[in-house]
Amino acid sequence: MKFELYKDVVLARDMPEHRLKRGDIAKPVEHHFAANGIEGYSAEVFNALGDTLTIITVPDSTLEPRSLPFRTSKQLVQMTWLGLACRSSCRVLG
């Protein structure tokens, strides 16, 4: 599968050798072919805050399109704080 460079994708499988899990967010930064003709990518992998975890080189079968909307780190932090605040002080009216 051909992926657009610098667009978010996700890992299609666990990569324990890199401490990465299926579904981790990656961004292909280079497209290349191995000597045996297999297509692959160099990709930067990020945590939920957008920090770089590592850069990997993988066959294209290791990546898949991102199917769910991705929240930015700012949105995740806001949602976390809202959830924590709501747990400690929100009441259900009714």
Q: Is residue 90 part of a domain?
A: no
pLDDT of residue 28: 96
Q: Is residue 3 part of a domain?
A: no
Which residues form the domain of 62? 9-67
Q: Is residue 46 part of a domain?
A: yes
CB 59 within 8 A of CB 35: no
Give the pLDDT band (50/70/90) at residue 50.
confident
Q: Is residue 58 part of a domain?
A: yes
Residues 6 or more apart whose Cβ sits within 8 Å of residue 61: 1, 12
Residue-wise pLDDT for 3-16, tens only, equals 999 999 999 999 99
In this predicted structure, which of 17-21, 32-36, 42-46, 86-90 has the lowest mean pLDDT? 86-90
Q: Is residue 27 part of a domain?
A: yes
- Residue 73's SS3 state is helix
**C-alpha–C-alpha distance, residues 24 and 18, integer Å:** 12
User: How many independent structural domains does the chain possess?
Assistant: 1
> With pLDDT > 70 as the criterion, what percentage of the chain qualifies?
70
pLDDT of residue 94: 44
pLDDT above 60 (res 81): no
